[in-house]
Amino acid sequence: MNRHAILAIYRFEMSRTWRTLLQSIVSPVISTSLYFVVFGAAIGSRMARVDGVSYGAFIVPGLVMLSLLTQSIANASFGIYFPKFVGTIYEILSAPVSALEIVLGYVGAAASKSIILGLIILVTARLFVPFGVAHPVWMLGFLVLTAVTFSLFGFIIGIWADSFEKLNLVPLLVVTPLTFLGGSFYSIGMLPPFWRSVTLFNPVVYLVSGFRWSFFGVSDIGPGVSLGMTVMFLTVCLAIVFWIFKTGYRLKR
Amino acid sequence: MAGGTAAISIEGVTKVYPNGLVALQHVNLDIRAGEIFALLGPNGAGKTTLISIVCGIVNATSGRVLADGHDTVADYRAARRKIGLVPQELSTDAFETVWATVSFSRGLFGRRADPAHIEHVLRELSLWDKRHSKIITLSGGMKRRVMIAKALSHEPRILFLDEPTAGVDVELRRDMWDMMRRLRESGVTIVLTTHYIDEAEQMADRVGVIDRGRLIVVEEKAALMQKLGKTQLLVTLQHALPDVPDSLSPWRLELAAGGTELLYTYDGQAESNGISSLLRQLDLLGVEVKNLQTRQSSLEDIFVDLVHGRP
């Protein structure tokens, strides 16, 4: 195992975060705070409790998930796309590093950033609405698993993309709608039966539901099912990454 | 292989791109440890593809490459640790500092952090004063130095320089030549591709010429110039001749410059080159000679003959 290489990539990616602190951390925290001000304090105070939880607290896990998903994808996709764009990928490809080590470096850094951001958002949310965490270990588990899974997904997007437009295509047109329709702001129990069934095909529902369960002990879907679906998505992403490095898809000519 | 151990062994390497372009056709080449090898060829000949295959950036369609005895695919870790690459394009992490990017390269190649070595490399390349500068603020020549520093950061034994002096000024070019000589003296094998034939003439121990994906010549530079080079005598005449007199036919002269110049090509290494007898014959014919000049063909002449003389 080339641990020096993993650390080099990891540190390089993390240093980009500190260099672009405003964009990496401050900007998502501000936008999430705005969600809490509008949906939590302004509108939330006029809404009924959901599953026995105040609306302001109910949306906390969903909003953390929203940031976690978008930032994991953005961090990992940009991390691998940028060296391709500027040509420095030659160094990664000619170095004595395995696919696993490259993934550990890039995805590890992207997931770390998202987890840090997720925790910062949780602390920020606590300033706006009171809530507790019923199952802290599960909460951390879901946080880490989701960050890693979606960082892997972002890594795949970064390798697939051959333009900045494509880099933003999947997050904008697929991930954001799925997140908004994945129960971030509502319980899927509020939906009519038909749409509730349709929603079950949305993988984000399982992430939000499992994460919410770790906070309040109640959820639309059992935590076991949520965990299983997240692990399944992680496995699919790992398989795709394995295939990419085996074939050199979009990396080697 | 004759004449030393192979630092790089390229065995039957062929590359066919998905669009059908045959970039390399069964290339066999041994590069000796400790030599400077210049790979010459016109644009699109396959030089960069060959280097990219050796370094792991491009997959070969068939054949194999050994770096210091290690297969570059099956035993890629050991092989790649030996190799440093300076690509043709100026690809750098624009927002990183010189120190950070060179240290990153060392780590990437599996080497423990060694600030003393990084300092040595930066000083060698006159980058020490710029170590805290962001790369985006550097000139093109400085960026080229940074790329070399990155390639040297992990102390490679084999260094690939793909067009290292393209677009750099004369001073930097001389600096780079000096650096290459110092590296060679320290035992580093250098493979150089260049468009500047005089660079190969100055630096290389051996020369390989690649054209349309085929390696057409591999030879010691001196032997190549002796074997394929020509020596010519240019005789400038006082008065123009309408054509070459019949009595001068044994010398196979060419008439040039409107009849005022005679060009005699001969074997510079031969015991008797025929110059004295030619001058006597000209005197007998009453042809007045204004000036005499000899010239040896350069590596560039040989290269042009090799590449453009092929069907």
The DSSP result for chain A, as a single string, is --HHHHHHHHHHHHHHHHHTHIIIIIHHHHHHHHHIIIIIIIIGGGS--BTTB-HHHHHHHHHHHHHHHHHHHHHHHHHHHHHHHHSTHHHHHHSS--HHHHHHHHHHHHHHHHHHHHHHHHHHHHHHS----S-HHHHHHHHHHHHHHHHHHHHHHHHH-SSHHHHHHHIIIIIHHHHHTTTSSS-GGGS-HHHHHHHTT-HHHHHHHHHHHHHHS--SS-HHHHHHHHHHHHHHHHHHHHHHHHHTTTT--
Distance CA B120, CA B103 (A): 12
In this prediction, what percent of chain B has a pLDDT beyond 90?
A: 42
Confidence of residue B91 (pLDDT cuts 50, 70, 90): confident
Quote ipTM for the complex.
0.81
Nearest to B76 among A86, A91, A96 (CB): A96
Distance CA A21, CA B172 (A): 37
Side-chain-side CA neighbours of residue A27 (13 Å): 8
Beta bridge partners of B197: none
In this prediction, what percent of chain B has a pLDDT beyond 70?
A: 90
Above 50 in pLDDT, residue B2? no
CB contact under 8 A, B109 and A93: no
Candidates A85, A91, A102: best to mutate against B (most CBs of B within 10 A) is A91
> Comparing C-alpha atoms, which of A109, A113, A133, A105 is closest to residue A23?
A113
Q: What one-character DSSP code corresponds to residue B288? A: P
Confidence of residue B198 (pLDDT cuts 50, 70, 90): confident
Second CATH level (architecture) for the domain B1-82+157-171+178-226: 3-Layer(aba) Sandwich (3.40)
Number of domains in chain A: 1
Q: Which residue of A has its CA nearest to B51?
A: A94
- Residue B297: its pLDDT value, please? 66
- Residue A115: its pLDDT value, please? 93
Q: Which residue of B has its CA nearest to A87?
A: B91
Mean per-residue pLDDT for B230-251? 87
Mean per-residue pLDDT for B263-291? 84
Domain that holds residue A58: 3-247
> Are residues A28 and A117 in contact, defined by beta-carbon separation less than 8 angstroms?
yes
- Residue B309: its pLDDT value, please? 62
Contacts of B96 in chain A (CB under 8 A): 12, 15
CATH of B229-308, one of 3.40.390, 3.30.1450, 3.30.70, 1.10.3470: 3.30.70
CB contact under 8 A, B108 and A86: no
pLDDT digits (tens, 9 = 90+) for A43-85: 777 777 777 788 888 888 888 888 899 889 988 999 999 998 9
Nearest to B80 among A8, A11, A94 (CB): A94
Length of chain B in terms of residues written: 311
CB contact under 8 A, B80 and A91: no
Q: Locate tokens 């987890």: which residue?
A: A115
Mean per-residue pLDDT for B163-190? 85
Confidence of residue A230 (pLDDT cuts 50, 70, 90): confident
Whether residue A188 lies inside any domain: the answer is yes
- Residue A253: its pLDDT value, please? 63
> Computed from CA positions of residues A8, A12, A14, A18, in that sequence, does the dihedral angle turn out positive or negative?
positive
Q: Which residue of A has its CA nearest to B81?
A: A96
Average pLDDT over all residues of chain B: 86
Q: How far from A52 is each of A56, A58, A132, A212, CA to CA, in Å?
A: 12, 9, 13, 13
Two structure tokens written together for B52: 């990219």
Spatial CB neighbours of B306, under 8 Å, sequence gap ≥ 6: B209, B211, B216, B217, B228
Contacts of A91 in chain B (CB under 8 A): 85, 105, 108, 150
Mean per-residue pLDDT for B218-243? 80
- Residue A246: its pLDDT value, please? 80
Distance CA B258, CA B17 (A): 50
Residues of B with CB under 8 A from a CB of A: 17, 52, 55-59, 76-81, 83, 85, 87, 89, 91-96, 100, 103-112, 150
Mean per-residue pLDDT for B138-161? 91
In this prediction, what percent of chain A has a pLDDT beyond 70?
A: 98
- Residue B164: its pLDDT value, please? 83
CB contact under 8 A, B91 and A90: yes
B103: closest CA of chain A, how far (Å): 8
Contacts of A86 in chain B (CB under 8 A): 91-94
Q: Which residue has the higher pLDDT, B246 or A28?
A: B246
Distance CA B245, CA B257 (A): 16
Whether residue A226 lies inside any domain: the answer is yes
Whether residue A232 lies inside any domain: the answer is yes
- Residue A207: its pLDDT value, please? 87
Contacts of A15 in chain B (CB under 8 A): 96, 100
What pTM value is reported for the model?
Answer: 0.79
Q: Give the lowest-confidence range in A24-38, A119-133, B170-184.
A: A24-38
Two structure tokens written together for A241: 């990454």
Contacts of B147 in chain A (CB under 8 A): none
- Residue A182: its pLDDT value, please? 83
pLDDT digits (tens, 9 = 90+) for A124-180: 888 888 888 899 999 999 999 999 999 999 999 999 988 888 888 888 888 888 888
A103: closest CA of chain B, how far (Å): 13
- Residue B92: its pLDDT value, please? 83
Confidence of residue B3 (pLDDT cuts 50, 70, 90): very low
- Residue B60: its pLDDT value, please? 92
- Residue B122: its pLDDT value, please? 93
